[in-house]
Amino acid sequence: MEINSSDNLYKKCAEKYSLAKKKFCTRDDFQEIFQVNNQKMVINLLNITCVEGDKIRPKELWEVIHKLDDNGVPYRGFIKDLTEFSSLSHLLSVYPDLHFKKSDRPDFILKTEGNLIGLEVTSAVSEVEKQVNKVAKFNFGRNKTVKDIQNYAYKHHQNIDGKYGLYDINGKAVLSPSKGLVDCHIYKNLIVNKALNKAKKAKEYSKFSEMWVLIDTENNFCFTEKDHAEELSKLFSKEDKNLQDINKIIVINIINKVFMLYDVESQEFNFIKQESVYE
């Protein structure tokens, strides 16, 4: 199957997402071989990245993703599913033996050794960051200059004018969701509030062996190091009574390959940082 067609990639992703709504799957079920410039490439359809090689998202793959972004897709819930499955993929990189099934309440049901685990997935980003991410999505990797990006942001997202940073560093555009110094403590409170909101919802769900909450911090630089996780765990511990309906809180940063697991009962956390290469 040729990956040069965005339709081929979209249809295969949609097929797999539909499968996961009907039965338990493994991450191997989401690996598909595509033909790219006369070479075979194994694609992880959970997050549309390469399974093998030095670069997990080379130029050819970015080009197809840009086409999906620009042209839209027939399946209305595709982008939401892609976002949630992408976050799940990072969890599976740490727990590869988990089986998963897509659900609505909660977002996923995980199965391990006969036990069923409910999983809620959410993202922790500010409103400004959401808009900045949209600007990046439709500009980066497309040979746009800083001026081009400034014009695009002003035309489509005037509400964030002056609230973000856009810099030219060695001829490359660098985009930041903030301008000047950042109060990372405020951002960590946002993560805690996301966990608290999911804990309230968990009271209404069916009982599972455990309930987990997965919080994706996307590309935010306020959650990339172990000391950030340590500060966050202290904030979680202060809310232990309000988090009793969930067992584990998992906080991830996909771009920086960061993973934090917080156990609500023991108030202990583990922090993992891996190496990754995007082109």
The whole-number pLDDT of residue 277 equals 45
CA 254 centroid distance within chain: 6
How far apart (Å, rounded) are the C-alpha atoms in residues 279 and 58? 5
Q: What pLDDT digit, counting tens, does each position of 8-44 carry? A: 888 889 899 999 999 999 999 999 988 877 778 899 9
Window from 31-40, 84-93, 135-144, 168-177 with minimum mean pLDDT: 168-177
Tell me what the pLDDT averaged over the chain comes to: 85
How far apart (Å, rounded) are the C-alpha atoms in residues 151 and 105? 41
Element of type H or E holding 62:
helix 59-71
CA nearest to 96, candidates 84, 112, 83: 112
The whole-number pLDDT of residue 122 equals 94
Tell the burial category of 182 from Cβ atoms under 10 Å away from its Cβ (0-12, 13-18, 19+).
middle
CB 251 within 8 A of CB 223: yes
Q: What pLDDT digit, counting tens, does each position of 113-146 carry? A: 889 999 999 998 777 777 777 777 788 778 788 8
Other C-beta atoms lying within 10 Å of the C-beta of residue 234: 12
Spell out where the chain has E strands: 31-36, 39-44, 49-50, 99-102, 108-112, 115-123, 165-169, 172-176, 210-216, 248-253, 258-263, 268-273
Domain residue spans of the chain: 6-75, 115-125+183-273, 127-176
Q: Which residue has the higher pLDDT, 23 or 149?
A: 23
CB 134 within 8 A of CB 157: yes
CB 205 within 8 A of CB 211: yes
How far apart (Å, rounded) are the C-alpha atoms in residues 232 and 27? 29
The whole-number pLDDT of residue 198 equals 94
